[in-house]
């Protein structure tokens, strides 16, 4: 009786994990569909960032399924209430899901990185270089972690649960996993700061700046989720044998991080379709991709960024402060006195004054002054 009374309460700690995972995945799926509709039907252009985002969604789908299967085999319960076969099955599925989790995080961050680079176009070379370096460093370390995880742990579940042979213990692998987690946090910080640095220097309206920063700065939530996962990472490398019960916070953090990355990087891409729906609702007029709100497009490199931002986010990003010089006649060579602002300039009105004078020889002389 004493041994029985010392047992922990028999309840499943994984219910919330499964519920949260599927709810977040459903939201991610809805946004992914909206993102692809926006890119295919409104903008009519897809890029490498869209392919990477689809891969991230697929990996998250597999991860969520493995969590569900592991839950049915005992994930979230104390090990005392599981037989060996259930314990092995639960560990097998979460072990498989680990690789898909890491790939999802890598693909999601890389997608947003390329999305920002595509918006910049040929402008801001230093910022583009910084993002490219961040992309390469993140990819190298995350792929190295996946290779180290499965290379060190192998494919034998019996080896993994062996306290002497298991790789899930404090070791070089656990320290490297913590380091890669820190790299991911820094990556999210860069992806959060980069849009602010990009947009704050634009010569546009405060409303446009705030809207663009609010949309592109959502990766700050991904950074918070990444910090949470790094904090809970030590749980899976713990020596405590009650793994199926204690590991729930880590898998919850992993699920939240994957889906938050997908959500935060997909919301900005919904701008064009939201604008399309609003215009159809208000006017009933048919809108094509060529009628999306965008800033004045010109051949100047400085205007490329304004145009790309407006097209990608589906919002008006006016380029303030541009001027055009209008000269005529003999003064066309060196006169720059007649300078008009480009914004809100829809037409140029010309006033013509005509005077008629009658002379004795009945000839008409016309003098036009413009």
The residues, any chain, with a CB within 8 Å of residue 240's CB and separated by 6 or more, are 246
The residues, any chain, with a CB within 8 Å of residue 192's CB and separated by 6 or more, are 217, 219, 220, 223
pLDDT for the residue 53 = 96
Q: What is the pLDDT of residues 86-121, one digit of tens each?
A: 888 888 999 999 999 999 999 999 999 999 998 888
Average pLDDT, the chain: 80
365 pLDDT band (50/70/90 cuts)? Answer: very low
In three-state form (DSSP H/G/I as H, E/B as E, the rest C), the secondary structure along 22-39 is HHHHHHHHHHHHHHHHHH
Q: Give the whole-angstrom CA distance, residue 317 versus residue 308.
A: 9
DSSP state of 170: S
Residue that wins the pLDDT comparison between 343 and 226 = 226
Identify the CATH number of the domain defined by range 10-279. 1.20.1070
Q: Among the listed ranges 69-78, 197-206, 346-355, which one has the minimum average pLDDT value?
A: 346-355
Q: Spell out the long-range contacts of 145-151 with Cβ–Cβ below 8 A and sequence spacing 24 or more.
A: 145/102, 145/176, 145/177, 145/180, 146/99, 146/102, 146/103, 148/173, 148/176, 149/98, 149/99, 149/102, 149/173, 149/177, 150/99
Per-domain residue ranges of the chain = 10-279
Average pLDDT over residues 149-173: 82
Q: Are strands 339-341 and 323-325 parallel, antiparallel or unpaired?
A: antiparallel
Q: What is the pLDDT of residues 114-132, one digit of tens each?
A: 999 988 888 888 999 999 9
pLDDT for the residue 309 = 76
DSSP state of 292: S
Determine if residue 34 is left, alpha or beta; phi over 0 gives left, psi from -120 to 50 gives alpha, anything else beta: alpha
Identify the CA nearest to 75 among candidates 87, 62, 59: 87
pLDDT for the residue 348 = 52
Q: What is the pLDDT of residues 269-315, one digit of tens each?
A: 888 888 887 777 876 544 444 444 444 444 344 577 777 777 777 77
DSSP state of 355: E
């Amino acid at each position: 009786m004493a041994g029985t009374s010392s047992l922990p309460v028999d309840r499943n700690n994984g219910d919330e994990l499964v519920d949260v995972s599927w709810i977040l995945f459903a939201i991610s799926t809805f946004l992914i569909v909206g993102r692809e509709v926006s890119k295919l039907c409104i903008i009519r252009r897809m890029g490498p960032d869209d392919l990477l985002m689809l891969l991230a969604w697929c990996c998250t789908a597999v991860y969520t399924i493995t969590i569900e299967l592991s839950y049915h085999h005992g994930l979230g319960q104390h090990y005392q209430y599981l037989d060996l076969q259930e314990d092995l099955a639960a560990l097998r599925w979460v072990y498989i899901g680990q690789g898909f989790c890491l790939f999802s995080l890598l693909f999601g961050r890389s997608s947003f990185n390329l999305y920002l680079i595509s918006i910049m176009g040929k402008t801001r070379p230093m910022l583009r270089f910084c993002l490219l370096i961040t992309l390469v460093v993140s990819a190298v370390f995350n792929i190295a972690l996946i290779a180290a995880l499965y290379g060190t742990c192998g494919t034998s579940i019996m080896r993994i649960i062996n306290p002497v042979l298991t790789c899930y213990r404090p070791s070089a692998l656990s320290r490297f996993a913590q380091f890669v987690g820190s790299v991911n946090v820094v990556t999210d910080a860069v992806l959060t700061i980069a849009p602010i640095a990009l947009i704050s220097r634009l010569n546009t309206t405060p409303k446009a700046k705030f809207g663009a920063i609010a949309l592109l700065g959502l990766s700050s939530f991904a950074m918070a989720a990444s910090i949470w996962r790094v904090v809970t990472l030590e749980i899976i490398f713990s020596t405590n044998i009650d793994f199926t019960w204690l590991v729930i916070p880590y898998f919850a953090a992993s699920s939240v991080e994957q889906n938050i990355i997908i959500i935060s990087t997909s919301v900005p891409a919904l701008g064009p379709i939201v604008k399309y729906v609003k215009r159809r609702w208000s006017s009933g007029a048919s809108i094509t991709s060529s009628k999306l709100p965008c800033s004045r497009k010109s051949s100047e490199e400085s205007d490329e960024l304004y145009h790309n931002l407006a097209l990608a986010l589906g919002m008006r990003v006016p380029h303030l402060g541009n001027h055009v010089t209008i000269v005529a006649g003999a003064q066309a060579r060196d006169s720059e006195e007649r300078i008009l602002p480009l914004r809100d300039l829809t037409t140029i009105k010309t006033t013509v004054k005509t005077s008629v004078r009658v002379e004795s020889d009945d000839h008409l002389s016309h003098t036009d002054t413009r």
